Each structure stands twice: as C-alpha cells, then as structure tokens.
Structure 1
Amino acid sequence: MLEQSDNQAPAGAQALFRGLAVIEAVAQGARSLADISAAIGCTRSTTHRLIAALVQAGYLRALGGNSGGYQLGPRLIELGYKARAQMPLAKLAHPHLERLSHATQDTVHLGVREAGDVLYIEKLPGSRGLEMRSRIGLRMPLAMTGIGKSLMLDLQEAEWLALYQQGRQQRAAQRETADVPSWEVFRDRMRDYASGGFSLDLEDNELGIRCVAAPIRDAGGQIVAALSVASAVPYMPEARLYELRPEVIACAAVISAELGWRP
C-alpha cells in the first residue's frame, strides 16, 4: 500500500505519506523501530528519521525504560478532539443522544461505517456506573455490533455474508470470547432487523452487554450513521430491548430529519 502511494505521489509528498504510514503503524500496535520499519516497508535508517521528526512535532512519544519503543503523541490527541468537535454529525446529534441517555440511564453510542468496521464517534456513559470497552475512536467489526448491523440494513444479503465472514475472521484472530451466531441465524436476524428498521446486539460484541440500535439517514435516504442504547444484561433483558426500540428509532429519526431526511 505504501509503495503504491509512493509511486503515485509527487516526490515531495513521499515523506508525508511515509510519515502518515508510521503513525498508522503505531496506531495499529507497532512499537519498536524494527516493527514500525517492517510495517511501512522502509529501511531502519529511513524509519528512524521519520520517527525522530514525528516525536519532535509531538505526533509520537518515545517511551523510556528498558523496553523503549514509541506510542501516539499528545498532538494527535489534540487533533482528534478537534476533528470530533468539527464533525457536523456528532455536534448535531449530541443533544438528542444526551436526552436519550438521560431517559434510559444507559450508555448511548453514535457510530459511522469505516470499510468493514463501525467507528465510534460519540459515547455518553449511562448513570449506572457500568464499564464497557467501547470508546470514541474504537473500531469494531460491523457484523458483530448493534450499531454495525444498523449500518448494514440496506445492503444486499451477499454483502451481509461478506461482512459476517470478515467479522468472524477478525474475532477468531483476536481470540474473542463472545459467541458468534451461525450464518443462518445471523441472516434471519438481519432480515427481521431490516424489515423493522432496527438491530440488536445480543452479547455478540461483548459478553454481558446488550444493545438496541437504529440507523440515521441523510437527505437522500442513505444510512450515514447509527446510534444505540447499551447496558449490562441485568439491566437489559430481551424484553427491555424491545421496549426501548421505539424510543431508539424515534431518536434516530429526529437526527435524520435534521440531516434533511423525510420518510
């Protein structure tokens, strides 16, 4: 990927692409000079020069101690918050999500699609003091999350299958403990969700956590985001998921209307 970008880019942009590749490699878990060099396909000397410049600019931080290595720097945190604040959807949706969170006392999420993943762009913790692994900036497989399934509602079944298989492979590679339903069960549930305009997460993403989600549409009727209400199983029996469904769908519809959508 980097080599392709280098070949297509003007000579002066090659260092920029390589620097961005370094940041992406560290974001994906590469820590040592050797790991980062291997991830971006550059020599150690070139990688070291890129890292030194990024550390100086605050985009990376050098770790002390015997292990050494690098992690994302404070400048990226600053830019991340600015990017989220400038995202019209997050700003527009926030007051509606806040009301939904107060009404349900549960955690409310907002997410968008990024390739085969859902990217969480907003999270409002509930008032029950529960902890769940979701966070702003986290990416999870579309087919394994409530929000992700809502983002998939308008897709063809062949696309459901491809995203289901992709999510299952990711789960296997990460040795996740949450149960993944069979394709037949997943497909039948998605058919029900598509006809009802909502989706559920029945501990598919995280053991002990359930959620109900609904899609958000733009003026053209396209699904551009989704929101969910999530809580631990003791507070979220299946009956309550269905009780909350109209409220969640209504909140998504209000946000959609602000984006110009009309049923």
Structure 2
Amino acid sequence: MGRLVPAVTRALDILELFLDGDGTLSAPDIVRKLQLPRTTVHELVTTLAARQYIVQVPGQPGRYRLGVRPYQLGSRYAEQLDLAAEGQHVARDVAETCDETVHVAILEGTDVIYIAKVDSTHAVRMVSAAGRRLPAHCTSVGKMLLASLPEAERAARLPDDADLVAMTENSITDPVALRAHLEGVRERGIAVESRESNPDVSCVAAPVRDRTNRVVAALSISVPMIRWSDAREDELAGLAAKGAADLSERLGHRGATR
C-alpha cells in the first residue's frame, strides 16, 4: 500500500467536518477542530473553494458550506450503486456471523421480491431463492416495508376489503388487524414473522434506507423453529438491524433512521 499524502488527508478531513453540525464552518472552526496551523487551513480552504468543493455562505463572510462538486461526485456514486449486488455482499457478512439464511427484499405492490440471498450452512435451513415473490403481509421483510410506507399509501395498498391470502394458519388475513400490527412494527423498527409464510420458519427483518432516508429494501434473517427462541429472536433482531444499517451506509444513508 502506498504512502498517504498529508495534504490530501487534511483536505478530506476538512470536507468531512461539514457532515456534522449545521453544515457551515469558518477557518477558525477548522483550526480548532483539526488542530492544524492557521496558514495550512487558509491554504486548504482557498484551494477547496477554488475547486468548488466549498463555497462561502451568502451574508456570512468567512463561513463556508459544501459546494456543488461533492454533490456531483455523490450523485455519480449513487448512479453506480447496485442494490442487489450491495445487498448480496452485506447478506453474506450477516450470514457468516449468525449462520442462518439472510435475505434482502424490495416491495412491489403488496408483494415482496427477494433480490439477494445467502444460505445457512446448517442441514436444516429455509429453502428459497433470489427472485422469488411472496405476499408482503406474510413475511418479515414485507411487514417492514409496508410499515415504512407513509400512512396514506399504506392504507391505499391495504384497504379494509383487501383480500389477504393465508400462506399458513398463522398468516394475518384481516387488513384492519394487519394495519394495527404494522404500527407496532413501525414503532419498534423491527419486523417479526412467526411461521406466517412457512410453518417451520420464523424471521426478523430491519429496514434499509438510501441516501434520502427513504426505505428501499429490508434485510431479514430466517430461522427454522428448531433453532428459534425468544433469546435467539432478540439476538438476530440486533444482527438484522446492524446488517440493514451497513447496507444503508453502502447506499449513501447517513444519520438517524427513525
């Protein structure tokens, strides 16, 4: 690995300071936060401003905010993101940690479509495949995605007369009961499905957000009932939340998720 260039490192340190606070900084702020010489900060700020990485705040002489160039770079990065590929990478990491089957899914209408999947190495495991479509209300990923919709949109997709199929005897088929259940999911930030799509499997799921804070997918961990317990549910809920946060970060999300 080559040597890090100090001037470049300092310039990037300055840019990353704008991620916190109100998004504006003065040269003295930068000197204080990074403990750099004033002359060095002045030179770096002048260079960054000349290249449109930062610009002066109108009406506030000496204060700077991010310029157009970081936005252009971020937009180009976002254009190159592949949710399925990034999801597969994160699902693999989560599966290696818990040795259970991990899925990433998106919502289409009132169904979910699995776009990434990594299997458990256990002999007894959930059998599924990327590309499979299931009714959202019967799955943890689907519940998480439905719960994350704006209330009006959720009501439109799940009217009182919605015909909700039952995949098992545990599936929720009453739209009113489902909407009440989804409110609990929304509050907790974790969805649990207990033998609702498969009588021998339970799952937990967490929301995946993009750089605009919009929920674009959900990540779940599926476990055969022979390995399921309240303690295991709590453990896997934490792992699912961490995996979803990792995937969100790969998609450019930053900050609070609620």
In structure 1, runs of 5+ residues without a counterpart are 1-85
Q: Give the alignment partner of residue 225 of structure 1, picking from 185, 199, 217.
A: 217
Asked whether the equivalents of residues 101 and 118 of structure 2 are also in contact (C-alpha less than 8 Å), the reply is: yes
Count the aligned residue pairs. 175
| Structure exhibiting the larger radius of gyration computed from Cα positions | 2
CA distance 1:165–1:106, shift in 2 (3 Å): farther
Tell me what 1:234 maps to: 226
TM-score w.r.t. the length of structure 2 is 0.60
Deviation at 1:132, TM superposition (A): 3.1
Deviation at 1:187, TM superposition (A): 3.4
Tell me what 2:13 maps to: none
Quote the sequence identity (%): 30
CA distance 1:167–1:198, shift in 2 (3 Å): farther
Name the SS of the counterpart of 2:206 in structure 1.
strand
Cα deviation per residue 1:140-186 (whole Å; 9 max; x = unaligned)?
A: 111111011111222244544554569973525xxx33422355553
Asked whether the equivalents of residues 218 and 224 of structure 1 are also in contact (C-alpha less than 8 Å), the reply is: yes
AA matched with 1:99: D
Kindly indicate whether residue 124 of structure 2 is the aligned counterpart of residue 130 of structure 1: yes
Q: Give the alignment partner of residue 170 of structure 2, picking from 173, 179, 198.
A: 179
Name the SS of the counterpart of 1:169 in structure 2.
coil
Asked whether the equivalents of residues 200 and 212 of structure 1 are also in contact (C-alpha less than 8 Å), the reply is: yes
Tell me what 1:211 maps to: 203
Tell me what 2:14 maps to: none
Q: How does 1:47-58 map to 2 (within 5 A)?
A: none
TM-score w.r.t. the length of structure 1 is 0.59
Deviation at 1:196, TM superposition (A): 2.1
Q: How does 1:106-117 map to 2 (within 5 A)?
A: 106-117=100-111
Structure (1/2) with the larger helix percentage = 1
Kindly indicate whether residue 94 of structure 2 is the aligned counterpart of residue 100 of structure 1: yes
CA distance 1:103–1:156, shift in 2 (3 Å): same
Deviation at 1:115, TM superposition (A): 1.8
Name the SS of the counterpart of 1:132 in structure 2.
coil
Kindly indicate whether residue 142 of structure 2 is the aligned counterpart of residue 151 of structure 1: no
AA matched with 2:205: A
In structure 2, runs of 5+ residues without a counterpart are 1-79
Name the SS of the counterpart of 1:224 in structure 2.
strand
Name the SS of the counterpart of 2:222 in structure 1.
strand
Partner Cα distance (1:87, 1:178) in 2: 39
Asked whether the equivalents of residues 168 and 180 of structure 1 are also in contact (C-alpha less than 8 Å), the reply is: no
Partner Cα distance (1:119, 1:87) in 2: 19
Deviation at 1:112, TM superposition (A): 0.9
Tell me what 2:134 maps to: 140
Asked whether the equivalents of residues 143 and 163 of structure 1 are also in contact (C-alpha less than 8 Å), the reply is: no
Deviation at 1:243, TM superposition (A): 2.0
Deviates more, 1:153-162 or 1:212-221: 153-162
Q: CA RMSD in A?
A: 2.6
Deviation at 1:97, TM superposition (A): 1.2
Partner Cα distance (1:111, 1:127) in 2: 21
Asked whether the equivalents of residues 140 and 204 of structure 2 are also in contact (C-alpha less than 8 Å), the reply is: yes
Asked whether the equivalents of residues 91 and 116 of structure 2 are also in contact (C-alpha less than 8 Å), the reply is: no
Name the SS of the counterpart of 1:171 in structure 2.
coil
Partner Cα distance (2:199, 2:140) in 1: 13
Asked whether the equivalents of residues 153 and 193 of structure 1 are also in contact (C-alpha less than 8 Å), the reply is: yes
CA distance 1:259–1:166, shift in 2 (3 Å): farther
AA matched with 1:125: D
